[in-house]
Amino acid sequence: MIEIKNLVKRYDDVCAVNDISLNIEDGSFVGLVGPNGSGKTTLLKLIFGFCRPTEGEIKIDGRAPGIELKSKAAFYPENDSTYHWMKAGDLIKWYSHFFSDWNKEKEKELIDFFQIPLHRYVEHLSKGLRIRLKLVLTLSRDAKTFLLDEPLSGIDPASRKNIMTGILKAYREDQTFIFSTHIVSEAEMLFERTIFMKEGNIIIDGQSDALREKYGKSMDQIFKEELYG
């Protein structure tokens, strides 16, 4: 269980996360959606412990984020921070040594599915292949919680479909996924629950099917009308 109470994060005079309270149960697949700059990345970083809240608290299974959480959670960053001077295969092998929950079988399945060219240097890979490589590094673990920050950003629709299929292949019902995106139309099918953010605030939160029934619209239509309308 992820418990968030009255969470605030300020950067100078900018309030990136504004008094957020919510609970996310184990085994959930949650969509965290909103325009760029809405606070999604900051919220994920706060949950993972990359930064500290200005006010409020976060607890994961009753404990504040810390070193122990990082051994149970996997974070996919939007920024490309991979080591470009390494070959893809060497990077995966090197990365695997840091995590006791690394699953070699999942690694192989994801490499095959995403068609990662292990012999090529990362710097020579296309943006789409680097994104898939980062997903291999993230999803090959048997972590309890996965925080995915904009994995669909900056790639073509065909690649997005491939990435979503790969994420579904890696997903297990006892794991919690929080998937942030501003590209809702192609990702909403994954979300059991959808949280809409705007200007650091949660403006809509609910089970996706219930929200579709309430509004009589798709998640993408709700996104466009409520956040951009």
pLDDT in tens, 160-206: 889 999 998 888 888 999 999 998 988 898 999 999 999 999 999 99
DSSP conformation letters of 108-136? HHHHHHHT--TTSBGGGS-HHHHHHHHHH
Rounded CA separation 149/161 (Å): 17
Residues 143-147, mean pLDDT to the nearest whole number: 93
Residue boundaries of the structural domains of the chain: 2-227
Which neighbouring-strand residues pair with 8? 55
User: What confidence score (pLDDT) does residue 121 get?
Assistant: 95
As a whole number, mean pLDDT of residues 11-31 equals 93
Write out pLDDT tens, residues 73-112. Answer: 899 998 876 678 899 999 999 999 999 999 999 999 999 9
AA identity, residue 139: L
Summarize the confidence of residues 7-31 as an average pLDDT. Answer: 94
Say if residues 109 and 168 touch (Cβ distance below 8 Å). Answer: no
What SS3 class is residue 155? Answer: coil
At 29, the pLDDT band (50, 70, 90 cuts) reads very high
CA distance 97 to 77: 19
Render pLDDT for 111-137 as a digit per residue (tens, 0 to 9).
999 999 999 999 999 988 999 999 999
Q: Is residue 213's pLDDT more than 90? A: yes
- Domain with residues 2-227, CATH architecture: 3-Layer(aba) Sandwich (3.40)
Strand, coil or helix: 161: helix
* pLDDT in the model for residue 203: 94
- Residue 229: the pLDDT is 63
Contact 177, 146 (CB under 8 A): yes
Element (H, E) at 9: strand 2-11
pLDDT at residue 117, rounded to an integer: 97
What is the bridge-based pairing of β-strands 29-33 and 14-24? unpaired
C-beta of residue 148 within 8 angstroms of C-beta of residue 76: yes
pLDDT digits (tens, 9 = 90+) for 40-74: 999 999 999 888 999 999 998 888 887 777 778 89
DSSP-derived secondary structure letter, 188: G
